[in-house]
Structure formats: structure tokens, C-alpha cells
Chains A and B, each alone.
Chain A
Amino acid sequence: MSWRPKEALLKRIYDDASVKTVKEVVSFVNSADSAKSDRKLHAGLIVTGPDSSVVLSLFESIAESANLESRTILVTLSSGQSPNLKTALNYINHCATSRNLDSQSGVIFDEAKGGRRLNYDLQILSDYVQSHSIDKVLLSFQDSEAFEGKVLTELIHVLSSWKGRIPFVLLFGIATSVELFQEKLSTDTIRCLDGSAFDVQQVGARDVIKAFQSEQPNLWVGPGLSRTILQRQKDYIQSHSTLINSLKYAYMTHFFANPLSIFLSTTQSIASSQKEHYEAVRNLPSFRRYAQTLIERKEYESLRTLLDDNESLGDVVVQEIKNGKQALQAILRATDVLFRLQSSSTLKTQTPWTEMYIRAMRAELAGSVAFKEIMASIKKLPSDNMKDMLNHLAGMSVPFGLIDFMKELDQLTHGSEEPKVPLRSAYDVHHETLRTTVVAQKVSLSKNTSTLSTQDSAYTKIVDRIYSILCSYFETTLINPQDLFLNEGLIFDSKSPHREVFTPKPRFAVERALSSPHDYLGCDCCGGSEDGLSATQPATAILYQLYLESGAMINTADLWSAFWTIVGGDGIEDEEAGQQRAL
């Protein structure tokens, strides 16, 4: 329900990132003329990054575009299909010649001309290329790192020896870097290849999270979880599929396990939901806070009805969810605005968007150092940059009148004789000069503010107004999301499900299972004994606990007798006899 639009969004992000590369590669393939260089094979090296799902979709879209021309054969080789040279060549032959079987002359190779051929003989492909007047044979190696270096080298040698007769174009998908790929090949092989490299624009984890939060979300991923996911991404993960999986898992946990998520649904009518949901709402901390504010406002009646009447509570919940969503969206928009301001300012350290988001969700953004620096730098902006910034902000649907400022600015700049020189506000360092005076062999530095021109002072006034408007805007929007009524339903910030699923601890789990098997088995027999050993436990668990009790050296006979005592638990004689039997 809530995930499908996200999926579409993700696909759009990846497509946007790769569309340029696809175009370049396709034009490379089309322009690769076999006649041009007679000694070298054309090779496109596509540096895709480590994400395999991206690679797949990229090659698919390349194949789609390349297949538009009927005179092109596409063969996709993967490392699994080509453990050695023979298999690889066989596969190439098979794939290439079975592609256009609908055309009438598919049988020609079997008997008539070449007689029986070995299935790894590239003569088959050569004949096929001639009889169908194929322009290009496109070979794509999607996971070229995974190929054995020897197989790849030999394959390239064989292909290059057929170069004159079969118009090969090779495409390599490279997850690491071109240099590393080149290291695998011999100099001889490299000399056979004439390549161009294509970089796929990397989709950063930040882009994904940003897109997730910005595009009309139903659910906001909270600051703690976001930070955990990003940190994990930075420390470990190469592929984005894990990142997306964690986000998906967060959504799943929220919608499957949190009953309050039912109120997030926009289509479902609230009246049909169970009364337990309302009880749950009444037990929320945020409801208590809400009730507290009602009491402070002395609206005892309405509070009473909220506590007693489900339907009126339902109405309030619907209303408040809407308000909460709007407030959260306003926070996001404010974050966007701040990010925008930062990019037009000339600060050295640029805070990433995700960091701002996390701070905003924690209600720490307005007090942060970055925020103060950005706001201070706005005062110093010259007029041309200010105009750019206002233009950008105007496109972001911010609820304050910017048009007036832009008009005023325009008037100011048009009035000046030299439009090349931007106006500067009084806060700009250009207006300050340092003056050194030597008094009694001491140098004293004093700052002097030079006199402003009339235009500059007018501009300073405008800047002051813009600054104050921005300040009040951020003050009103950057509220603490945790103060919102029903924030438990709107924000998902539980770290432990994520941690348990994505960073499992198998050793710990196995050890725990062995030391207290009852927790996992749930059987009646060992329920009684809290800790310690009992005969009903599985033999492995008993042995493990005995092993834990023993020291560095283990006497096997002792271990055996201890084990026997626990399992058998009978008299000494019986035990002796049993031991004999067991041995």
C-alpha cells in the first residue's frame, strides 16, 4: 500500500542516474565501426559500481536500445556460464545463432555448407554473420571481475583473431575500477583492446534517503534509525539493495506491528476500526501531553468526550494526523530551504542533507553550529548571489512573500550605473578595513567600517528584512517532532528490529540456544529446571554446558562419566553395566 510508490520512486532515481550512461554506451556501440581499426577490438568499459541490481538494469536498458537495430546480435556472458574457454565459445555460438531463428534460413549451418562443426568453433558464428549480414556482435560481460583472468585473456585472444570476419564489440561491466580490471589482463591482451570507459553516476545512500523523505511520505523514518542505517552503510555495505531493504523493513515493521499505523491510511474510514485502537491512542504519551494542554486551556468537556467517546476521538485523530503530517512536511521543507541556502552561501564545510534531516527530526537543527553559520553567511551575500538564492527559493513554495524583495532588488540593481559590480551589505567584510596604529611602541588593530553608498545601505535594509523573515520562518517550522500528537504513528524510530534483522549474531544465538534450550524448544519436560542440567535436555546442550564447566584440559573419561550421570541418573551398578554396553 505504502511501499509501491516508493518502489517506483527508487526505480526512477536509478533510471535517472543511468540514462546518460546508457545513451553514451549505445552511441559508442553504434559508432563502433569494424572497418576503422583493423587490429583492435572495440571495448566499452562500464564502471558500474558494486551494486549488482543496478548493473542488471543498466545492461537490460542497453540491450533494449541496442536491439532496436536488427543487424545487431547481443550475447550476454556471465562468469557462471563460462568456466572455461570452450564453454564460453559454445555459449556465444549458441546464443548468437539462435537469436533470429524466425528468419527462414536458420538451418543452414547444420549440414549444407560447413559440414559438422565443433560447437565451440567460431566459424559457425562467422558463417551466420555473413549469411545474415550482421553488422555487430555485441558481447557483454556483466560481471567481468568474476571471470577467471585466464579464461578472459584467452577469450579475448580468440575473439581478436576472428576480428576481421566477425564484427565484435565488447562491453565489460566493472564493479571496481578500470585499473584493477586491467591488472588482470596481460599486456598482450590489453593491446588487443581499444576501449572507452563510461562511468555510471553513483546513487548515494543520501540521495535515496532524501528522496524517501521528500516525496509525500506517509511515514517518516526517525533520526536514530536513519543514523544507524547511514552509519552501517558507511562502514560496511557496498550495495544499495541492503539500504533499500532496511528502509523496507522499517516500513514493514511499522505497518505490521504498530496498530497506530492504521490511522495513517488515507482511504480507510476510521469508523470501521476496532475500539482497541482508540484505547491504544489513549495510552500514548503524546495523548497525555495533548490532554495536559487541554486541561491547561481548561477545556475539560472536550477532554471528557475524548476519553469516553470513540467517535469524537476518531475525528480528532484524523484531524491531528493531518496536522502532524503537515508539520512534518513543513520541517522537511524548512530543511530543504536551509540546504538550498547553504549551497548558495560560500561556506567551506557543507553539511549533507541527511545530517540536516536527522538534526531537524531531533529538533536540534535550529541550535546547531551549521545553522548559525549559514544564517550568518546570508547576511554577507552580495546582491547577485542573493538574487539567485531568491529565485531558487521562489520555486520551492515557501510561505513568505519573496516577490517583493526580488522587485526591490531589481529596482536597486537597475538603478546603479555599473551593473557589473554587485551590491554588498553592511555585514560584508569588504566594507571593513583594518587600521593599524602605533601608540607607544604598541601596535593596535582597529576595525573600521567604511561608509556605505546609498544603494548599499538600501540593500542592507533589504537583507535585514530577508534575514528576519527567514529567522522567523525557521523558528515557526522547526518544532520538535516528538511534541506532535500521535508522533508514535507518524515517525518510526525503533532501532532494535533493524539491528536484530540486519546485524545478526549467530554465535551468540547458538550459544544461548545451547545453554538454555528450553527457551527455544518450549517443551514441557525441561520447563521446571530453570538453570542447570537435566536429563531431558538435548545431548548437545548437555555436552556444551559440561564443556563450559571444564577447564582448559578436558579428560574425556571424566566428561563421559559426568555426561552419563546426567543422562542415566541411575544407580552405580547400573551405570557400570550401562557404561560397558555403551562402550
Chain B
Amino acid sequence: MLPEEISSILLDQIPCRALQIRQLLALLSPALPSPSTIFLYGVEATGKTLAINAVLDAITTPSAIIPSRECITTRHLLERTIAAVKEALAAHGQLEEANGLDRRCESISAFVIELRRLLDGKDKFILVFDGIDRQREAAPTLLPAIARLGEISPNLTTVLVTTTPHAHLLHHAGIPHIHFPPYTRTETLAILSRTPLSLDAHPLSPQAVNTTTAAENDTEWLWARFTAAVWDSLGQPAARSIPEFRDVCARLWTPFTQPILAGHYGAREFSKLLVKNRSLFQSEDALINSIVPTEPSSTINKPKNQSTYTLPYYPTHLLISAYLASHNPPKHDITLFSKTSLSKRRKRGGGTALTSHRASKHRKISRRLLGPQPFPLERLFAIFHAILPLPYANGGADIMCQVATLVGLRLIIKAGGAGDVLEGGGKWRVNVGWEFVRGVARGVNFDVESYLIE
């Protein structure tokens, strides 16, 4: 196949990436010598993997792609690479049998030796490391070493696919970089218009696109308008990547087309639909990812009650104490919790002009944003006894049992991680956020705000 044909097919497969595909085809062309290392970069979901996969499929050079996210350790990556190279060679008839791994390949030097043995005297070979900058447990030398693989065996071309280019990442100059920029508005809409949803939220089959009936034509027209509207209202500021944007569109599509299915509007009445469903584009519910998909409704709904989860009486107070212990500095404890202390609790947002002026010298981050600080168990119990409205009479074993329950539910966790849970003297940390604590505190009529130092 001629290069022009290949490129025209590829450009049809992968829209809006013409420049990058042409560059890749030129650099990896079987007829021409290739650079020893090529560097592809661009943020997530910009078609890097897609493009390199398609290009390698199209050209005849033997190649192997190693996705780093599937490799748990460096050893896993290296051994998997060797196995993949063997398989690719065997598929192209350059090796009798891909018999897997012969020997251990734990370090990069063993890997280089093995790779040289395999590729010695062979034709050109392309090795792609996909997402190599996200490799788990990678040594700092791994990436520079892989970047230099091409120097060791001249017939090898290494392609590195990463998200970020870093000046000193590779310790190597003169590597051709190919940038995959984020898609623009027109490009995004063009890509999404290739996969329109039908009115009942099923993807239209591609055959149907060719033999369009009038209704499907209408739906496609509506989909294009709809995606543009979603992009302008929500996608551009908050969901720029293609998968995210597609998710948001899919979430909004069903409520948006509801009036059409109900028969109130026709499919061509886009502006009327837009006005009717304007609250869909105003609220940001659709942007929030959740495991259980929630249907955004076209009416503005009240904020849901966040935590429907309730704990018994004493565990609730323990949890609140843990939150207070984590978010208040210990030096303020005597002010906050001492019942005899005369000094008033400092309220939120108060303070005289003098104090506010002085505070501006050292800009402080709100303690709520700093994350929970560890506290010893004794402090937790002290605060617990201080915030209880009635004195706590029962014995100690019960309350320890409650701590154990809270730890079991991971509402409180051991700070530092190391060490046995049973070991005394460790420090603990609350593991739930402000919203949750406020929710449970309201359940027992406890005002958390007044006990928090801001």
C-alpha cells in the first residue's frame, strides 16, 4: 500500500489528528530510516495511543506495544516487553517460536542484553512504551535508559508515549517530539458528531448513518446542536476531554429529549427544547462523577440531604470529637472545651480591625483545608467527655469498643500507618470530611462550628 493511501485511511479513522499521523508515518516509514527514539506527548485523551496503534497496524514493520498501566513492577514491564518482542518477531517469521521468557530479566541491564540478542541482525523493529511516565515502582534511571535503547541496537526504534514533556526527563538531546494538543471546540464537536445517540439513548449504528431516514437525520441534527450547547455551557469550562464530555452529553441527553419522546415538541425545535430544559445547562449536577449514575432532572432540585447515614448516639459524639481533635490545634483545647474558662470562643469571621490587619502579614490557610492532623487517643477521649451534654457514666471498655467500631468502618484511621493497631500510644486521624461530620452532628443537635478554630 502506498503511503498516501495509508494516510488517507488513517485520517478517516482518527479525525482531527492529521498532522500528527503524517509525522508519525514519515518518521516510522518502513522505506526510510527512522530516528532511534520518538517522543509523543499530550494530555490525557488526545488520541496518542489511538494514533500510534493505528499507524503501527497500517505499516508492515514488526512492532510491539507495552501499556505501562498494566505492568505492576519494572520487572513486569521488562519481562513483558521481551515476551511481546518475541511474539512480534515470530508473527513476522523472524523467529521460529515465541517461547516466552528464557531467563529472569529483573534489571535494565539484563533487559538490554536480552533485547540485543533478540534483535541482532534483524530488520527494523518498533517498540512502543505507552504511558511510560506513569510506570509504577519505576527507578529514576528507567526512562533515560529506555530512551537510549536505540543507541544499543541500531535497528530498533523506541516510541515513548507520555502525558508531560519534561526538559530533563530523558537526559538525551535531539529526540523528535510530537505534540498532541487538546482538541478544540470544532474538533471535539466533529468527533462527537460521529457517534450520535438516538432519541432513546442508544448509539445509532453506522449503517443507519449512511442510509438516513428523515427521523434519524433529524436526530443527528439535534445531536450536533445539543453537543454544541453542552460544550458552551458545561464542557468548555469543566469537561474538556473527549470521554468526559461524551459522558456529560450522554447524561444530559435523556432528560433533554424527554419532551420529544413525550410528543410535546418536534426534533427540529431545538431552541424551544433549549429554553424548556435550560436548568439542565445551568446546574452542574451532570459534571459530578458518581459510581451510581444519577439522572439530572430538568427542574432545579433542592440540595439533597448529604448523609443519610446515622450512627448511634455515643459513636456520633466520638466521631465529632475525632474531627475536632484533627482540625483544632491542641493549644486551643483549653479555650474551646474547658467549662470554667472565661474567655469566649472565637466566632467565625469575627475579630477587630487590628487583628485582621495583623493576620494579613502571615497568610494562613484555613485549617479545614489543611487536612486532618493526627491526635493521641487520650485527647480524643478528653474532647469526647467535654462535648457530651450529659456526663458519661459508663465504663471504659464500651467506649474503646466504639473506637474499634469506628476504626473498622474507617471513619477514624491510624495515622502513620506503620505499627500494629493494638499497640498503644499511636496517633489517630479522622477520615471523613466536613460535610459528613456536619450531617451527623445535626442529627444529634450538636453545633460543630462553634467548636472549630478558623
Closest chain-B Cβ to A94's Cβ sits at a distance in Å of 15
Residues 42-78 of B contacting A (Cβ, < 8 Å): 67, 69-70, 72-73, 75-76
Q: Which residues of B contact A13 (CB under 8 A)?
A: none
Contact of A115 among B101, B136, B309, B436 (CB under 8 A): B101
A502, chain B: closest CB distance, angstroms: 8
B72 close to A195 (CB less than 8 A): no
Q: Which residue of A lies closest to B75 (CB)?
A: A118
How many of A's residues come within 8 Å of B, CB to CB?
56
Residue of chain A at shortest CB distance from B417: A148
Least Cβ–Cβ distance between B102 and chain A, in angstroms: 8
- A118–B398 alpha-carbon span in the complex (Å): 47
**Would A190 and B290 count as touching, CB distance under 8 A?**
yes
A56 at the interface (CB under 8 A from B): no
Question: Which stretch in B163-171, B185-193, B263-271, B403-411 binds the other chain?
Answer: B403-411
- Inter-chain contacts of B99 with A (CB < 8 A): 115
- Evaluate contact between A120 and B291: CB separation under 8 angstroms: no
**Complex contact A118–B395 (CB within 8 A):** no
CB under 8 Å from chain B, chain A span 178-215: 178-185, 187, 190-191, 193-197
Q: How far is the CA of A117 from the CA of B73 in the complex (A)?
A: 13
Partner of A505, one of B136, B396, B410: B396
Q: Is the CB of B315 within 8 A of A236?
A: yes
Residue of B nearest to A238 (CB): B405
A161 touches B290 (CB 8 A): no
Say how far B36's CB is from chain A's closest CB, in angstroms.
Answer: 28
B289 in contact (CB, < 8 A): yes
Q: Are A45 and B409 in contact (CB under 8 A)?
A: no
Chain A residue at smallest Cβ distance from B244: A191
The reply to whether A503 and B397 contact each other, CB–CB distance below 8 Å, is yes
B312 interfacial by beta-carbon distance below 8 Å: yes
Task: List chain A residues, Cβ under 8 A from B309.
Answer: 176-177, 179-180
A contact residues around B395 at 8 Å (CB): 503-508
Whether a CB of chain A sits under 8 angstroms from the CB of B351 is no
Instruction: With CB as the reference atom, state the residue of chain A lying closest to B410.
Output: A145
Residues of chain B within 8 A of A194, CB atoms compared: 291, 293
A512 at the interface (CB under 8 A from B): no
A237, CB-defined interface residue at 8 Å: yes
Q: Are B397 and A506 in contact (CB under 8 A)?
A: yes
CA–CA, A224 and B232, complex, Å: 66
A193 touches B291 (CB 8 A): yes
A50 within 8 A of B: yes
Question: B76 is contacted by which of A116, A120, A146, A508 (Cβ under 8 Å)?
Answer: A120
A4 to B70, CA, bound (A): 52
Assess A114 versus B405: contact at CB under 8 Å? Given A182-B291, A236-B312: no
With A and B bound together, what is the CA distance between A187 and B404 in angstroms? 29
- Expressed in whole angstroms, the minimum distance between the Cβ of A512 and any Cβ of chain B is 13
Q: Which residues of B sit under 8 angstroms from A86, Cβ to Cβ?
A: 72-73
Q: Are B307 and A177 in contact (CB under 8 A)?
A: yes
Closest to A231 in B: B313
Q: Which residues of B from 298 to 323 have beta carbons under 8 Å from A?
A: 306-309, 311-315
Query: Is B144 part of the binding interface, using a Cβ–Cβ cutoff of 8 Å?
Result: no
* B79 close to A (CB within 8 Å): yes
Among B292, B306, B307, point to the contact of A195 (Cβ < 8 A).
B292
**Which residue of chain A has the shortest Cβ distance to B104 in the bound complex?**
A116
B69: which A residues are within 8 A, CB to CB? 157-158, 161
Q: Which residues of A contact B312 (CB under 8 A)?
A: 233-238
Flag whether B176 is at the interface (Cβ < 8 A).
no
**Interface presence of B283 (CB below 8 A):** no
Closest CB-CB distance, A81 to chain B, in whole Å?
Answer: 16
Nearest chain-B residue to A192 (Cβ)?
B291
Q: Does A89 count as interface, using CB distance less than 8 angstroms?
A: yes
A114 and B100 form a contact (CB under 8 A): yes
Contact A176 B76 (CB under 8 A): no
Cβ–Cβ contact B293 & A89, under 8 A: no
Partner of A235, one of B83, B313, B397: B313
- Binary contact track B154-189/A, C-beta < 8 Å → 1, others 0: 000000000000000000000000000000000000
Chain A residues within 8 Å of B7, by CB: none
Task: Give A146 to B308 CA distance when docked, in angstroms.
Answer: 21
Once the chains bind, are B83 and A45 in contact (CB under 8 Å)?
Answer: no
Q: Which residue of the partner chain B has the closest CB to A195?
A: B291
Measured between C-beta atoms, what is the minimum distance from A127 to chain B in Å?
Answer: 12
A162 at the interface (CB under 8 A from B): yes
Q: Is the CB of A190 within 8 A of B289?
A: yes
By a CB distance below 8 angstroms, the chain B residues around A177 are 307-309
Report yes or no: B292 in contact with A116, Cβ–Cβ below 8 A: no
Closest beta carbon of chain B to A53's beta carbon, Å? 13
Contact B244 A506 (CB under 8 A): no
A180–B413 alpha-carbon span in the complex (Å): 14
Bound Cα distance A333, B391 (Å):
40
B20 CB, nearest partner CB in chain A, Å: 23
Task: Decide if B352 is an interface residue (CB 8 Å cutoff).
Answer: no
Closest Cβ–Cβ distance, residue B295 to chain A (whole Å): 13
CB nearest to A194 among chain B residues: B293
Asked if B123 is at the interface (CB within 8 A of a chain A CB), the reply is no
Bound Cα distance from A104 to B330, whole angstroms? 65
Judge whether A89 and B72 touch: CB under 8 Å: yes
Q: Is B394 an interface residue (CB 8 A)?
A: yes
Output the residue of B67, B247, B395 with the most chain A CB within 10 A: B395
Flag if A120 contacts B101 (CB, 8 Å): no
- The distance from the CB of A48 to the nearest CB of chain B, in whole angstroms, is 12
Bound-complex Cα distance A571 to B313 (A):
60
In whole angstroms, what is the CA distance A566 to B214 when docked? 107
* Shortest beta-carbon distance from A364 to chain B in Å: 25
The yes or no answer to A17 lying at the interface (CB within 8 A) is no
Q: How far is the CB of B202 from chain A (nearest CB, A)?
A: 11
Question: In the assembled complex, which residues on chain A have CB atoms less than 8 Å from the CB atom of B72?
Answer: 85-86, 89, 118, 120-121, 158
Does residue A175 face the partner (Cβ distance < 8 Å to B)?
yes
User: Which of A190, A239, A504 is B291 in contact with, Cβ under 8 Å?
Assistant: A190
Contact A191 B243 (CB under 8 A): yes
- Bound-complex Cα distance A163 to B292 (A): 19
Alpha-carbon gap, A197 to B292, bound state (A): 6
B313 touching A178, Cβ below 8 Å? no
In the assembled complex, A282 has its CB within 8 A of some CB on chain B: no
In the complex, chain A residues whose CB is within 8 Å of the CB of B79: 118
Contact across chains for B397 and A504 when beta carbons are under 8 A apart: yes
The reply on B401 being an interface residue by CB < 8 A is yes
Cβ–Cβ contact B67 & A161, under 8 A: yes
Q: Are A178 and B291 in contact (CB under 8 A)?
A: yes
Whole-angstrom distance between the alpha carbons of A187 and B44 in the complex? 14
- A182-B290 contact, Cβ under 8 Å, with A114-B83, A503-B397, A508-B395: yes
Least distance between A157 CB and chain B CB atoms (Å): 6
> Is A39 positioned at the interface, with any CB of B under 8 Å from its CB?
yes
A-chain residues with CB within 8 Å of residue B73 when the two chains form the complex: 86, 118, 120
Chain B, residue nearest A507 (CB): B396
Is A122 located at the chain interface by the 8 A CB criterion? Answer: yes
The answer to whether the Cβ of A463 comes within 8 Å of any Cβ in the partner chain is: no
At the interface, yes or no: B33 with Cβ under 8 Å from chain A? no
* Beta-carbon contact of A235 and B314 below 8 Å: yes
Residue of B nearest to A49 (CB): B309
Please, which residues of chain B bring their CB within 8 A of the CB of A193?
291
Residue of A nearest to B44 (CB): A188
Name which residue of chain A comes closest to B397, CB basis.
A504
Is there a chain A Cβ closer than 8 Å to B377's Cβ? no
A43 within 8 A of B: yes
Q: Which residue of chain A has the shortest Cβ distance to B398 in the bound complex?
A: A503
Residues of B within 8 A of A (CB): 67, 69-70, 72-73, 75-76, 79-80, 83, 99-101, 136, 243-244, 247, 289-293, 306-309, 311-315, 394-398, 401-402, 405, 408-411, 432-433, 436
Please name 15 pairs of A and B residues whose Cβ atoms are closer than 8 Å in the assembled complex, sorted by A: A86-B72, A117-B100, A145-B408, A145-B409, A161-B67, A162-B70, A176-B409, A179-B307, A182-B290, A183-B432, A190-B290, A235-B313, A236-B398, A236-B401, A238-B311
Since A118-B79, A120-B76 are in contact, a sample of 19 more A-B pairs with Cβ atoms closer than 8 Å, ordered by chain A residue number, is A39-B243, A86-B73, A113-B100, A123-B80, A145-B410, A146-B408, A157-B69, A161-B70, A180-B309, A182-B290, A182-B291, A183-B432, A184-B410, A191-B247, A195-B293, A234-B313, A238-B312, A503-B398, A505-B394
3 smallest A-B Cβ distances: which pairs?
A115-B100, A505-B395, A195-B291
